[in-house]
Amino acid sequence: MPAAVHDACITGNREALSGAILNLISNALQHSGPDARVCVDVRIAHNRFELRVRDNGPGVAAEYRDRIFEPFFTSRPDGTGLGLAVVRSVARAHGGDVTLEKPDGTGACFLLSLPLQAADSRQRDTASGHQTSQEVAA
């Protein structure tokens, strides 16, 4: 039975994970233009926390799709090319990943997937006084 989003916990560095999520949202806003519409969807599936950031921009050009997670790769004259590389590094450091999902129509959709912390592990952390998990709120 899938866990409810409000009951889900992930373990990790709060600042790093928050920065990764904010980076995905910021990228979506930057690449969508003045009429930007960005949607963030959260769900629990296959014992993983999944966060999707979708936008209504032009999407990722086919010739860039294999390189967008490389450090210093950018399609913007004022970009550093570090944003998505950092997001991927943070995700992988937490046992997860970030991917560009196959576009269907306009825009781009990035999926950040992280493993859930086991319930018995949360109980041990609470009993020992360690704060290693963060509540995930929708």
Q: Pull the structure tokens for residue 136.
A: 């995930």
Confirm if 113 and 52 have CB atoms less than 8 A apart.
no
DSSP-assigned beta bridge partners for residue 48: 45, 115
CATH topology of domain 5-135: Heat Shock Protein 90 (3.30.565)
Short-list 13, 29, 93, CA closest to 40: 29
Note the pLDDT tens digit of each residue in 48-103. Answer: 999 999 999 988 888 888 888 988 877 777 777 688 999 999 999 999 999 999 76
Domain boundaries, the chain: 5-135
Note the pLDDT tens digit of each residue in 7-59. Answer: 778 889 999 999 999 999 999 998 888 888 999 999 999 999 999 999 999 88
Confirm if 115 and 96 have CB atoms less than 8 A apart.
yes
